[in-house]
Amino acid sequence: MGEPRMTLATRAVLSAFLAAPADEHYGLQIAEAAELPGGTIYPILIRLEQCGWLESRWEDIDPQEEGRPQRRYYRLSERGAQAATAAMAKVISRKRRTLLSARPHGGMA
């Protein structure tokens, strides 16, 4: 599967994961960290999971004991951690290049 489109929302989600690459997060935690509305992150999570950048699993608890349903936890896969770091670096360098090229170079009047 190819690379996901690096939209602002995707970058925000990846930044949230890259802040603690080894940690597992559930949907609302990710949304909060990425400062995105809760219900809007699922297409991104699914896309990243399809690309193999994220892994997910059901929380290992007894819902009866905990008094709440099991959550789905997401974490960066090994490949995802490398690819996401590279993709973020690429975006940042591209942005820097754009900013530099937009600077006035001076010229002849």
Partner 1 sequence: MIEKGMNDIVGTAGLIVLLLVMLLGMTRTARPKRPGKRPRPWARGPVPARRPQQVMLAEHAALWRARAKELEDLGDAAGAERAMREADLSEARASWHERASAMSKASLAEAADREEDRTAAREAERRIALALLFMPAGQRERYQQEWNAEMDILSAREASTFALQLLWSAPRTGAMLWLKYTFGRRPA
* Residue window 7-46: x/- pattern of binding to partner 1, with contact defined by CB under 8 A: -------------------xxx--------xxxx-xx--x
Q: Which is nearer to partner 1, 12 or 26 (CB)?
A: 26
* 28 token code pair: 């609302």
Contact indicator for 85, 11 with CB cutoff of 8 Å: no
Position among 8, 57, 68, 89 found at the interface with partner 1 (CB under 8 A): 68
Three-state DSSP at 54 gives strand
Whole-angstrom distance, CA of residue 14 vs CA of residue 6? 9
Give the phi and the psi of residue 25 in degrees, each rounded to 5.
Answer: -135, 150
Query: What does the DSSP 8-state code read for residue 61?
Result: S
Position among 6, 55, 70, 91 found at the interface with partner 1 (CB under 8 A): 70
Q: Which is nearer to partner 1, 38 or 94 (CB)?
A: 38
**Which residues in this chain contact partner 1 in the complex, by CB under 8 A?**
1, 26-28, 37-40, 42-43, 46-47, 50, 68-72
